[in-house]
């Protein structure tokens, strides 16, 4: 039987962290002398640091500030590492899928200590077969590269995979990789935006997906 891959974003999908990122980025920009509206930051969460700064400050910014802004965000967000909250049902969903023969792989813009903190919060390492993190790819989402790497790690073809995420960047990355995309509303992005970006199905959060797993794309792949 061909391998089946269940590929998961983490922030906003398995862990309730998107708004922590928004506040950390807002303060990092403020420290650098930039006033960036929080709704704009929220819509950019899920991009890698370089792409997020590019989107919010534009191509005419002083690029010499980028490293300091990114470092400030990491330091500010890092103050939460000991108490990052996983969504209810996150670990149970990963364990259930692994128990049904799916190879669970994380595809996330987090890396290093941040990813380690997120994995501690989700507390389902026994179900996770691999991670495609920002440390492992040249381009983050919406590039398909993280999803493609996740498929390689799982040993699965695109047609035998489902990607679960919460942002338009997740949906676009999955679609470009030829993988069916499941969207969760837990990251705060409107359903219509997620569907326009390629979501095949939309659920409220991981607990809702787990409760309705047998009517989700995970039963049709």
Q: Would you call the peptide bond into 147 cis, given omega within 30 degrees of 0 as the criterion?
A: no
Pick from 8, 41, 5, 18: nearest CA to 173: 8
Helices 18-31, 66-78: inter-axial angle, 10-degree rounding:
130
Q: What is the pLDDT of residues 46-100, one digit of tens each?
A: 999 999 999 999 999 999 999 999 999 999 999 999 999 999 999 999 999 999 9
Instruction: Round to whole Å and give the CA distance between 102 and 122.
Output: 18
Residue 23: predicted pLDDT: 98
Backbone dihedral region of 145: left (phi > 0), alpha (psi from -120 to 50 degrees) or beta?
alpha
Residue 221: predicted pLDDT: 59
Q: What is the pLDDT of residues 181-204, one digit of tens each?
A: 999 999 999 999 999 999 999 999
């Amino acid at each position: 039987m061909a391998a089946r891959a269940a590929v998961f974003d983490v922030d906003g999908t398995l862990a309730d962290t998107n708004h922590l990122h928004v506040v950390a980025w807002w303060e990092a920009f403020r420290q650098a002398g930039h006033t960036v509206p929080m709704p704009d930051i929220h819509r950019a969460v899920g991009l890698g640091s370089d792409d997020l700064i590019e989107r919010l400050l534009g191509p005419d910014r002083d690029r010499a500030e980028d490293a300091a802004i990114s470092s400030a965000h990491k330091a500010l967000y890092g103050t939460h590492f000991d108490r990052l909250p996983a969504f209810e049902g996150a670990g149970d969903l990963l364990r259930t899928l692994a128990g049904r023969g799916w190879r669970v792989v994380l595809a996330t813009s987090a890396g290093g200590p941040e990813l380690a903190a997120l994995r501690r919060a989700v507390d389902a390492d026994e179900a996770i077969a691999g991670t495609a993190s920002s440390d492992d790819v040249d381009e983050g989402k919406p590039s398909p590269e993280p999803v493609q790497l996740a498929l390689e790690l799982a040993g699965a073809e695109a047609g035998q995979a489902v990607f679960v995420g919460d942002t338009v960047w997740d949906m676009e990355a999955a679609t470009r990789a030829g993988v069916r995309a499941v969207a969760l509303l837990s990251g705060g992005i409107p359903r219509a935006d997620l569907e326009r970006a390629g979501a095949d199905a939309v659920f409220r959060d991981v607990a809702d997906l787990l409760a309705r797993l047998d009517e989700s794309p995970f039963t049709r792949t």
